[in-house]
Structure formats: C-alpha cells, structure tokens
Amino acid sequence: MNILDNVKGELIPWDDPLLTSEQDDWKFEEYPMEEAAKLGLLLIETSRKLNGAGLSANQIGLPYKVFALTAEEQMDLPAMAIFNPEILESSEDKTSMTEGCLSRPNLWLMVSRPRVIKVKYFTFKGEEIKTTLSGYVSRVFQHEYDHMIGIDFTQRVSREKLKRAIKKLKKDAKRGRTTQVIRGNFNP
C-alpha cells in the first residue's frame, strides 16, 4: 500500500495529537524514491494552494519528518521538499517577525527566532545537504522544523501575547472580519 493512498492534501484539525508529537524519520530504504517525490510534490502543491510559506507532512496527517518550503519570492529559492531536517547550530543573534500558521488560520504572533541557522537535510532522492540559512528562509525552516518536533508556534510566545492575539481573533470573528473562530480547548 502506498502511504499517500488515503491522504487528500487537506489540513488536519489544529488539536490533532499528531501536531504535538515528534515525527518519525523518513526511511529512504523502506520507501521508493518515487514515493518521496510524490510526498514532496503533494506538500509543495498543498502549501501553494493554501498560500503558505511552508507545510509539514504532519499538518496533512502523515507522521514523517518532511516539509515543503514554498515562499520562492521571499526566499529567493525554488520550492523544495526537506526530508529528515536537523538544525545543527543557531546564532545567538535573534530577530522577531510576525508569523502565522496554516494549522491556525488568521492567528498572527510576533515570534523571536535565531537569525542564522546551520542545517542538514535530505532531498527526496536521499542526497544529504548541509547549508547555512538566514533571513526569511531561516525563519520558515525553523517554523516547519518545530512541527517535526511537536512544537506549535503558539509555544514560542508568552501566554499573555497569545491571550491578546486570541482575544483579537475572536473579536474580529464577531465583527465578521474573519471566518476563523477558536473552538475547543484552545485556552493559553
């Protein structure tokens, strides 16, 4: 059975336990290269369809350390699928920027992250890449990497900041400025 047989390229609910658990490494020896290529393409296409800068496999229900980076213009790089990523080093110098997440539509938070990171990952062909990232691509890589280790961007801000952002989101929903409404136990 193909691992993508039952995957529709749709986001799973934000409170699915898959989003808060560490994901499994992609095992190149267990899956043919075509399977990796299909997964990478599915993530890229889904991220683009949702106007995302990136998308992790667990966001569409697959428990693997795989994500796509798709903000080509901002990153000055082609869209790509990243398999089994690792952050090897992070700069002490940090930068703050407003972030959103496809799993939490219309929730925007100011998140501080290292400005520069050294990373290792594999292409869909199993080729190892080691490189240094900075700027927007560094931020998106870190955000998607967090998904791989079960961290949500809401965990990167203080409880007070999160409460204010949720209050604003609920207020906007009441005023009809957004269709997103916080449901469930999303109480910081």
What's the per-residue H, E or C state across the chain? CCCCCCCCCCCCCCCCHHHHCCCECCCCCCCCHHHHHHHHHHHHHHHHHCCCCEEEHHHHCCCECEEEECCHHHHCCCCEEEEEEEEEEECCCEEEEEEEECCEEEEEEEEEEECEEEEEEECCCCCEEEEEEEHHHHHHHHHHHHHHCCCCHHHHCCHHHHHHHHHHHHHHHHCCCCCCCCCCCCCC
Handedness of CA 77, 81, 83, 86 (dihedral sign): positive
Per the annotation, the verdict on 160 as an active-site residue is: no
Q: Of these residues, 10, 89, 92, 144, which one is catalytic?
A: 144
Place of tokens 């929730």: 107
- Counting Cβ atoms within 10 Å, is residue 10 exposed (0-12), middle (13-18) or buried (19+)? exposed
Would you please indicate which residues are annotated as catalytic (active-site) residues?
144
